Structure 1
């Protein structure tokens, strides 16, 4: 018997998939605490586990299910499957989890086919996709016919912020007259403020809020935990997280400081835009570049904030030196927006939020497939793909599979063999042609067969 939801009930999100793909680890990540037992042994979860999660300002009821397995109804595994199916019947959204490391198994294909017949919205997640290699492996999940797979690692926290956004985007719209004229809730833009100790991060937060929310002073390292604050501009709500200063790893001491830095990195992973605050009088040093590279690896949008601008004597030379250092050392984030101000006096602070909003628009950008492929044909004509093992690579077409950050997939014969130098050429072309300055761009390559073709139609 299907349970009918009452008006006002939380939307239900069900995590499903075969055993040992990391469903419980993902459940714990989303709930924010260790509520479900996790183990390398398949089949540890036998009952449905429920928890409440706050995802991008939206409260949801999250259900962790037992692994979907083929089994006779009277057996333990049969009863576990029946319990999972009942949970799915209540779902507003099913998060279908596969293991990117193991690849797509016949069980994955079987239950994906079963899910398509349930008429439930499905979000396909490829778990255990650590790093770039894992993201490429996740592309195999296209073959399930459930749309674009979202690559993540529940164990390491990679891609969790993107998953939260994807879940909220697919849920039924929440109604609230307070936040929007037509009653649709506006989700806050999430910003993390990061940087070295004593760069002025907490002073910036206080200046934006108009109150002494964070303790400030000449001593470095006053902020020890990530501090959340809310504000609103003319475009809607903003959630800002002020983080502890991040020193070079060799200087980070045991105990409290290590925990503080971990909290800063976690806040960065959950943000949409990361503001890297620099002391303009000191310029860009290697630690700033390391933080910027971490922001790029996490796929976050970035704004470079030059604080203490009122104390800089030769502003033109300082700005040029910062821009040159960034262009040379962070080619993968070319065109990163820079905003100058003094958090202490308020000079130039009016430029801060508009710059962040513009960076968010770029990070969320979508490019039409026809425009993309017109550009792609011109790019191939201007500079043909190189020979690999004496044979020319045949690249056929390109599509954007997601934003946040802009992510593109190129399909073609042996496309996965494209060298890094040619990938950089294509990424630079995408950035310049479609006006994507400063944001990370992901370019994935899918060789040989077209994943959109239904393999069962071989006649």
Structure 2
């Protein structure tokens, strides 16, 4: 797995580098004080910004001192950090304006090959306005107004960091795709008690690995079993099978041990990648099945639904069509969830089930290129422009994928708080159909991009 892309925070002493570092990593890893020079060594941490994952380096304040002195050696550490990073985040103090040392750092950064992002910290209030304008003189592009202490300006910071992080993430995704066949598919079997979950796993393994019987509720713990499936093309694909306790309606779960078992089953859903919801063909689809399916989708997991006991079911065509229609009504948030028929007793449909599980994991893990995503986005907006409530135009600027597993996207624009849910559903359904995400959970969020300190918006 490729290492996380790296962003190095640089600037003169006491401009707020450590405060920003702590905000990005979500904890107080760096000491913060009004005195300059608190940070001496490079400090690194894993950062998350609106779904972007990267490594951030807090560097010592850049000072113009002899290389043999302590400040000089600290400066050498900062230089090394910038040269190793995918981008440098140059922080100035908007209230103090551009100082001679800021100008020197700007000249140094322009001479380096590392891309530079310029941010003006402490920009809240009128005191930061002149410093924000002065920052243009550094010749490093548009400065980002922000407040590391109050968390303002993070959307604009995200927009500037995103291209550098996504470039490295694309390489990581390529590596992931190359070795995904070597990764175990984490496959959990869930359903109501006595749907045949343990029997199904025993049939897949071709051994009596789990205790089964006519009594409901035999399985109490989530059981994890590593195994290899021989695919139709002859390849051996690693699988981690997870059997879970039956999930009954919460009101019917009275026994303390059963409550623990159901909670353990929910944790198994959180751990797994693909979930098979097993139905009992002799009972059809019940409300509890829909509740379980909804929980799986809310957790962002890929879902398959399998009708078990197909060997003893009657009126096969009518049963399948009836369950399919009920799923369309009951799972409108993920239309088209794959529905298969299997028999744990005879082994019918098990290869098709496993093949579908690997395929849906691949879709669940897929990243769409920025170009393809925005071409689709522009076409979708052109076909159906967003509404203009009260005559105010909602402007959708662009969309970016911030995560996979499940696929997660952020739309940037203006007045997005006025965008109706129906339009977001239109976009989500379009992504499912036109970008081939099918029924896997797709998460779509909006972020308004503007100067957080400009009251006029």
Shorter-chain TM band? 0.5 to 0.7
Query: Counterpart in 1 of 2:352?
Result: 351
Which of 30, 35, 47 in structure 2 is aligned with 1:68? 30
Query: Counterpart in 2 of 1:220?
Result: 216
Which of 35, 42, 46 in structure 2 is aligned with 1:95? 46
Query: Counterpart in 1 of 2:183?
Result: 187
Name the stretch that deviates more: 200-209 or 361-370: 361-370
Name the stretch that deviates more: 228-237 or 272-281: 228-237
Q: Answer yes or no: is the 8 Å Cα contact 1:415–1:448 preserved in 2.
A: no
| TM-score, length-scaled by structure 1 | 0.65
Partners in 2 of 1:112 and 1:265 — Cα distance?
Answer: 45
| TM-score, length-scaled by structure 2 | 0.65
Query: Counterpart in 2 of 1:284?
Result: 285
Q: Answer yes or no: is the 8 Å Cα contact 1:19–1:69 preserved in 2.
A: no
Query: Counterpart in 2 of 1:309?
Result: 310
Query: Counterpart in 2 of 1:232?
Result: 228
Q: Deviations over 1:17-40 (max 9, x none)?
A: 6399776xxxxxxxxxxxxxxxxx
Partners in 1 of 2:303 and 2:164 — Cα distance?
Answer: 25
Query: Counterpart in 2 of 1:61?
Result: none
Partners in 1 of 2:86 and 2:219 — Cα distance?
Answer: 42
Partners in 2 of 1:195 and 1:306 — Cα distance?
Answer: 11
* Cα distance change on mapping 1:20 and 1:254 into 2, 3 Å: farther
Q: State the number of aligned residues.
A: 345
Partners in 2 of 1:431 and 1:407 — Cα distance?
Answer: 12
* Structure 2 gap segments, 5+ residues each: 5-17, 62-77, 88-150, 230-234
Query: Counterpart in 2 of 1:132?
Result: none
Query: Counterpart in 2 of 1:271?
Result: 272
- SS of residue matched to 1:331: coil
CA RMSD of aligned residues (A): 4.3
Name the stretch that deviates more: 381-390 or 113-122: 113-122
Shift of 1:111: 7.4
- SS of residue matched to 1:339: strand
Partners in 1 of 2:417 and 2:224 — Cα distance?
Answer: 42
Partners in 2 of 1:283 and 1:139 — Cα distance?
Answer: 52
Q: Answer yes or no: is the 8 Å Cα contact 2:220–2:258 preserved in 1.
A: yes
Query: Counterpart in 2 of 1:321?
Result: 322
Query: Counterpart in 2 of 1:249?
Result: 250
Partners in 2 of 1:354 and 1:436 — Cα distance?
Answer: 17
1:209 matched to 2:205? The reply is yes
1:420 matched to 2:397? The reply is no
- SS of residue matched to 2:325: helix
Q: Deviations over 1:187-234 (max 9, x none)?
A: 211111111111111111111111111111110000000000011122
* Cα distance change on mapping 1:70 and 1:227 into 2, 3 Å: same
Query: Counterpart in 1 of 2:22?
Result: 18
* Cα distance change on mapping 1:97 and 1:365 into 2, 3 Å: closer
Shift of 1:139: 11
